[in-house]
Structure 1
Amino acid sequence: MRGYMDACTAGDADAVAAHLADHARHFFPPDMYDGPWVGAQAIGERWATAVRERGSSWTVDAIVVDEARRQAVCEWTHHKGSLGVILRGAEWYEFDEEGRITEIRAYYASPQAAGYERLELGGFDYAGRGYPHA
């Protein structure tokens, strides 16, 4: 995960993609970044663009790992340099047998969005994965 974040900060799309399974998916809250992003190269290109256009960089603030389940959580800080914005959040990661990232679910530290009846990730199949939905 640190290697992935370092590659994101370097703005190197190929290095980002190398940490991801080809079919990786990156989920975001609704209406953010036109997510979910699908595919290792597409995810790499999107973060490389963020570095180039917004001066983005990331720090890894904490990591918790469950090796047996091939899952981890990373708390991070996203510095959007040219915008003067600091975005904090956490991401849930899932990995394949080779240790490549197959899924990232991003959660942001921010106030509850007004006007939403459901505050959940856009495009994520909660019901299909057995999450409560009532």
Structure 2
Amino acid sequence: MAEHKHALTIRRYFDACNEADYDKLVSCFTEDAVHYFPDGLPDIPWRTADTIARKWQWCVENLGSQWTIEKILVSHDSDEAVIEWTHWKGKLGTALRGDEWYIFDKESGLIKEIRAYYASPADKNVTINELVSFDYAGRGYHLEPLTHSKAKEV
């Protein structure tokens, strides 16, 4: 069975994030897209495809960010999806796990809204922010970032 078009868009978006590829990032979003986050980050929410792309480029450059997708669920009756991810911050030696809710534009199929939810508050005293006592390894989750040849070139 072929992967759903919304899942393919999400995978393309994460590849673009890991590659810090501005044009590829922007191509995943409607021009007026919004990315919402929990409290604690400056200048949120991020509004417009341009802003989202530039912020993720900054994260790759300054934090050594890489992301892995752990799970994707796509709605069978609406233009929505939810994913579980890990944000690896290589230069800080930390990681954060969480979920995102995606809303897609019905006509274009592009992402028009993302709502991010963190597995836990970003605790600066732990190296990987994740659920306490959850068996990440046993459930097949990534325990380190993937190596991306394009990401290394950035």
TM-score norm. by structure 2 comes to 0.70
* Alpha-carbon offset, residue 30 of structure 1: 1.5
Q: Match for residue 117 of structure 2?
A: 107
**2:32 aligns to what SS in structure 1?**
strand
Among 23, 27, 32, the residue aligned to 1:14: 23
Alignment check: 8 A CA contact 1:14 1:41 kept: no
One-letter amino acid of the counterpart of residue 109, structure 1: A
Query: How far has the Cα of 1:112 moved from its partner?
Result: 9.6
Residue from 51, 55, 64 that aligns with 2:64? 55
Where in structure 1 are there 5+ consecutive unaligned residues? 114-134
Instruction: Give, in angstroms, the shift of residue 32 of structure 1.
Output: 1.6
Task: Summarize deviations over 1:15-71 as a string: whole Å, max 9, x none.
Answer: 111100000000001232421000001100000110011110000100000142100
Contact 1:71 1:92 in 2 (8 A): yes
SS in 1 for 2:120: coil
Cα displacement string for residues 76-103 of structure 1 (whole angstroms, at most 9, x for unaligned residues): 0000000011100000000002110000
Taking the aligned partners of 2:64 and 2:122, their CA distance within structure 1 comes to: 27
Q: Distance in 1 between matches of 2:121 and 2:31?
A: 34
Partner of residue 39 from structure 1, selected from 22, 36, 48: 48
Judge conservation of contact 1:26–1:105 (CA < 8 Å) in 2: yes
- Other structure's SS at 1:91 match: strand
Q: Structure 1 runs of 4+ off > 2 angstroms?
A: none
How far, CA to CA, are the matches of 1:41 and 1:112 in structure 2?
Answer: 26
Identity of aligned residues (%): 47
Mark the runs of 5 or more structure 2 residues left unpaired by the alignment: 1-9, 124-154
How many residue pairs get aligned? The number is: 113
Larger strand percent:
1
Aligned to 1:24: 33
AA aligned opposite 1:105: R
